[in-house]
Structure 1
C-alpha cells in the first residue's frame, strides 16, 4: 500500500556539524528551521555582509561566524558539511576554495546555465567533493511516497505526468530576479522538472515556451508551457501561470500522475497564498476505485529540506550508497532545463492557411 512507503529520508547515525556559506532568506526561512527539526547542529556561518551575518548568528544561536570561505575552511576543514546557499554565479569560486574531498550541499540551480553546471560538475570531480544539489522537492513526503508508488508498480506502467499551476505569485518579493534573462524555468519550474525526472526518469527531449506577463512587469518570464518526450508511451506536460488574478477559487497547483492501473494527485500547498501556503496533499486511486488521501508526515516547506542534508551526511559517513540529488544526477536536470530554454528559439510550425 502507498501508505506503507517511507516519506522521510533516514537520519544519519553520527551527523557532522554544518557550516553555512551564505545567510540569505532561504537559509533563514527553510534551511535552519529544517536542520533544527532534524536535530542537525550548525557550527558556523560564513557571509560577506556583516549585518546579515551577525543577525543570522544572533537569531539562530550560531556559535561562530566567518567573513570568507577561506576563513571557514581554515577553521573547520573536513570535519563539517558545507551548505552553500548563494546565487548561482557565486558557486564555482566557493567550490574551488573548499578542501579536497569535502562534503557539500549546493543550492539550486546548479549554475545559471548548462555551461556553469558542466563547470561545477568538473570542479566536484577534480576535487573529489561529495557534492549534492538541494533539489528538495523530490525529498518531500508527498514526492517520496509518489516515487516509490511508481517504482513498486502501484499505478502500473507509467503513462502520464502533468504539472498544472494557475496561481498568484507575488513576484515583488524577489527583486533580485528582475535583471535575470532566465527566470521562471530556472528558479521555479526547475523543481517540477527535477521531480518529474525523479519519478518518471529523464526524458529524451523537451519543447517549451516561457514568457513574461504585463501583470508581473519587469520579470523576463512568469508563464511556461513545456512538453517532455520519452517516446511513444509516457507523456509529460507542464503548464505554469503565476499571474492569476481571480482569487483562490480556481487556483490550482497539482502534479497528476497516471499509469495503466491507477493514478495519483499531488497538491503543492506552498504555491497557494505564497509564502504562507496551504497543506500539501497526496491522493491515490486504483482504476475503478475511490480516491483516498494519503496521510503525510510533513510538507515541502520545511520538512523536504531535511532530506538532501540527511542523505549527504549519510553518504559522507558510508551509510547511504548514493547521493539521491548528487551533482551527476542534478546535471541531468540542468540539461533538461537547458533544452527547455534552447527550444524557446525554435520556431513553431506555422499554419498553412492557403
Structure 2
C-alpha cells in the first residue's frame, strides 16, 4: 500500500500575520512555513524586541508594536495566534471583526473553558469567517499513516488502542496562573488524536496525581484516561509527565509510544517528540501484509513539519470555501472530551459524553 505521511500543499495564496514570538512560533510555525513557501507578511508579540528578533531570523518584513495593530494591517489575510489561552479569545474576536481577515488559526486549548470555546465557535459562524484550531498531532506522520491503514480496513475492527507518554513537558510560565495543567495542555493532543482515529467516544474515566517535579500548584499532573467508543473499542491515554528522576548521570528514557490492535492486525509506533527524531510506525495485517511486519519510512517529523499541514488545510479552506479539516466545531468536541475528563477526576466516576452540553 502507498502511504501519504505528509499532505500535499495545495494553496500558498494568502498573507499570514503571526501573533506570538515564543518557542512554538519561532521553532515550529515559522520553520514549517519557510519550508512550505507560505507568505508570512507580519509578526507581533507582547514585546516588540522579541518579535523583531524572530522577524530578523525568518525574514519577515513587517513588525507591529501590538497584536491589535497586526490584526488591523490590511495586508494580513490570515491571523495565526500562538498566545496564552486566557488572552487568545480577545484576539480571536478582534480578528473576526477585522474586514481584512479571512481566517484565524488559534492554539489549543482554544480557551480556558468549554463555554468560551462554544461562544467563539458561534461568533466565528456569525461572522462568516473560518476559525481553525492547531491540533497538530493529527498531522504527525505516524498518525496520518495509521489513519490510512485503519480507513483501508487493514487491521479490521478496532479492539484496543493506547497512547503511552513518558516525557517531561516544558510547562510555559503562564500555566502557573491556571487551575488546570496536563489535560488541557498535553492530554489534549492525545485525546484529539484518538477522536481523529476512531471518532467520538461514549465515555471517559480519568484519574490523576500531582507531578512531584512541577514546582507550582496544579490539579492534574500525571493523568491516565480510559475511553470507550460506540463500537466497543477501548483506549488508554497516559500522560506520565514525571517519567522518572533526573540527575547528572541518570540515563534519560523519555518517549511516547502508541499501539492499535484490531481483528485483522496490529499497528504500533512512536512519536518523535521529545527526541527530535521522525515518528515511526510498523504494522502487521492478515489482509494486507500476510501477517508480516511492515515499516513504512519517511524523513519528516512531527515538529516542525506537521505545522505545514495545519496552515495548508486552512489556506485550502479559504480558497475553496470548504470547511477546514481542523474546524472549530470539531475542536469544541475535543474540548468537551477534556471537560468530561476533568469532571471524571473531580467526581471520581465514569462520565458519558452525552452529559456534556456542546450546543
- Separation in 1 of the partners of 2:12 and 2:308? 15
Q: Flag the 1:165–1:72 CA change in 2: closer, same or farther, 3 A.
A: closer
Is contact 1:142-1:280 (8 Å) kept? Answer: yes
TM-align CA RMSD: 2.1
1:180-259 → structure 2 map (5 Å cutoff): 180-220=178-218, 221-231=220-230, 233-245=232-244, 251-259=254-262
In the alignment, what sits opposite 1:11?
9
- TM-score, normalised to structure 1's length? 0.89
Unaligned runs of 5+ in 1: 350-354
Deviation at 1:219, TM superposition (A): 4.9
Deviations 1:166-204 (A, max 9, x none): 23x154x63332232111111111001111100010112
Long gaps (5+) in structure 2:
351-359
Q: Which moved more, 1:306-315 or 1:39-48?
A: 39-48
* Residue 229 of structure 1, CA deviation: 1.8
Picking from 64, 82, 86, the partner of 2:83 is: 86
1-structure distance, mates of 2:169, 2:204? 28
8 Å Cα contact 1:8-1:307 kept in structure 2: yes
Aligned-partner SS, 1:228: strand
CA change 1:116–1:55 in 2 (3 A) is same
Contact 2:89–2:110, Cα closer than 8 Å, also in 1: no
> Mapping of 1:260-275 within 5 angstroms?
260-272=263-275
1:29-108 equivalence runs, <5 A: 29-76=27-74, 80-98=77-95, 99-100=98-99, 102-108=102-108
Looking at structure 1, the residues matched to 104 and 8 of structure 2 have their Cα atoms a distance apart, in angstroms, of: 18
Q: Kindly state the Cα deviation for residue 87 of structure 1 after the two structures are TM-superposed.
A: 1.0
Q: How far apart are 1:37 and its partner, in Å?
A: 0.8
Supply the distance in 1 between the matched residues of 2:278 and 2:313 (Cα, whole angstroms).
Answer: 24
Matched, 1:307 2:302: no
Match in the other structure for 1:352: none
| CA deviations over 1:220-250 (Å, ceiling 9, x no partner) | 1330010112146211111221212265576
Structure 1 residue 218 displacement after superposition: 2.1
- CA gap of 1:293–1:85, structure 2 versus 1, over 3 A, is same
Say if 1:43 and 1:63, in contact at 8 Å, map to a contact too: yes
Q: More deviation in 10-19 or 306-315?
A: 10-19
Report how far residue 142 of structure 1 moved: 1.3
